[in-house]
Amino acid sequence: MSTKAFIFDLNGTMIDDMHFHLKIWHEVLTSDLGAKLTIEETRSNMYGKNDELLARVFGEGHFTAEEVTAISQRKEEKYQEIYKPHLDLLPGLFDFLEDAHQAGIRLAIGSAAIPYNIDFVLDNLNIRHYFKVIVSAHDVLQSKPHPEVFLKAAELLGVAPDSCIVFEDAPKGVEAAETAGMQSVVLTTMHTTEEFKRYSNIMLYTKDYKNPLLKELIS
């Protein structure tokens, strides 16, 4: 395989923010919306697009589309407020993006986040120019573990799936990459390596982008 593109998941992969999402989702789901969920139950339901998460917890059709949009926006405003003082790329990522860009590797984001959160990261950290393609929650019908987000990113980049490497922090994301026919690098910010055991498309586990083995993906 000759690598032509890197597709990055956002939350937990480029920034270490999943603990903030967990805290706010738990607050919103329990205190605001009355669900009876432990933190652990919130953690295991916290993947995919916000509308899918709400349907998983409360059942399909429990909220109107307008209510879902409002709940989702309120949750992301609360998240941005508590996470903003900590907003930063994972160690080594800025240099890794620059090196990949210099080497002609095409870069994309494939995330379940809404554009409001993707813009928050790209614009506050001044890294938007690295990404030729951004596929957000608004661009796909089904979120991870469905491969749509990564296949769409590859298609928009004009790169075959087997020439893409996906960077992910979540088992559902690695599964989406596997179904899309893509290898993956796992960032161990939120999940243990044990949780990824059943996937066969993992090239490397790493806690950040300072790992010297990552350089081999670029050269």
Ligand X SMILES: O=P(O)(O)OC[C@H]1O[C@@H](O)[C@H](O)[C@@H](O)[C@@H]1O
Beta-carbon count within 10 A of 99 CB: 17
| Site for ligand X, residues 158 to 177, rule: CB under 6 A | 170
Nearest approach in angstroms of CB 35 to ligand X is 14
> HEC profile for 113-142?
CCHHHHHHHHHHCCCHHHCCEEECHHHCCC
| Site for ligand X, residues 100 to 159, rule: CB under 6 A | 111-113, 117
- List, as one string, the DSSP characters of 55-115: HHHH-TTSS-HHHHHHHHHHHHHHHHHHHGGG--PPTTHHHHHHHHHHTT-EEEEE-SS-H
Of 219, 216, 154, which is closest to residue 185 (Cα–Cα)?
216
Nearest approach in angstroms of CB 96 to ligand X is 17
Binder of ligand X out of 7, 10, 105, 164 (CB under 6 A): 10
Both tokens assigned to 164: 């893409």
Binder of ligand X out of 28, 53, 54, 100 (CB under 6 A): 53
Beta pairing partners, 109? 8, 134
Binder of ligand X out of 21, 43, 106, 152 (CB under 6 A): 21
Nearest approach in angstroms of CB 149 to ligand X is 8
Beta-carbon count within 10 A of 57 CB: 17
Nearest approach in angstroms of CB 99 to ligand X is 22
164-168 and 202-206 as β-strands: parallel, antiparallel, unpaired? unpaired
Identity of the residue, 65 or 219, whose beta carbon is nearer to ligand X in the bound complex: 65
Both tokens assigned to 66: 């307008």
50: contact with ligand X by CB under 6 A: yes
Sign of CA dihedral 175, 18, 107, 98: negative
By CB under 6 A, the count of residues binding ligand X is 14
20: contact with ligand X by CB under 6 A: no
Nearest approach in angstroms of CB 219 to ligand X is 27
Identity of the residue, 104 or 156, whose beta carbon is nearer to ligand X in the bound complex: 156
Beta-carbon count within 10 A of 83 CB: 22
Locus of tokens 């001044």 = 126
Identity of the residue, 82 or 103, whose beta carbon is nearer to ligand X in the bound complex: 82
189: contact with ligand X by CB under 6 A: no
Identity of the residue, 112 or 186, whose beta carbon is nearer to ligand X in the bound complex: 112
Nearest approach in angstroms of CB 13 to ligand X is 6
Q: Which residues form the interface with ligand X (CB under 6 A)?
A: 9-12, 21, 46-47, 50, 53, 111-113, 117, 170
